Amino acid sequence: MTGQKRDFVLEQVRVFDASPERVFARFTEPAQLATWWGPHGFTTPEIDLDLRVGGRFRFTMQPPDGEAFHLSGDFLQIHRPDRLSFSFRWDEPDPDDRETIVVLSLESVDGGTRVSLSQGEFATRDRLELHRQGWADSFDRLDAVLETPDP
What is the tens place of the pLDDT at every residue in 49-69? 999 999 999 999 999 999 999
Per-residue confidence (pLDDT) for residue 50, from 0 to 100: 98
Instruction: Give domain status of residue 55, yes or no.
Output: yes
In this structure, what CATH number is given to the domain that contains residue 99? 3.30.530.20
Q: What is the pTM of this model?
A: 0.93
Instruction: Give domain status of residue 133, yes or no.
Output: yes
For the cut 90, the answer to whether the pLDDT of residue 6 exceeds it is no
CA distance 82 to 114: 10
Structural domains in the chain (count): 1
- Angle in degrees, 0-180, between the axes of helices 20-28 and 125-146, rounded to the nearest 10: 120
User: Which domain does 125 fall in, by range?
Assistant: 3-146
Instruction: Give domain status of residue 151, yes or no.
Output: no
Query: What is the average pLDDT score of the chain?
Result: 94
For the cut 50, the answer to whether the pLDDT of residue 118 exceeds it is yes
Instruction: Give domain status of residue 115, yes or no.
Output: yes
Instruction: Give domain status of residue 124, yes or no.
Output: yes
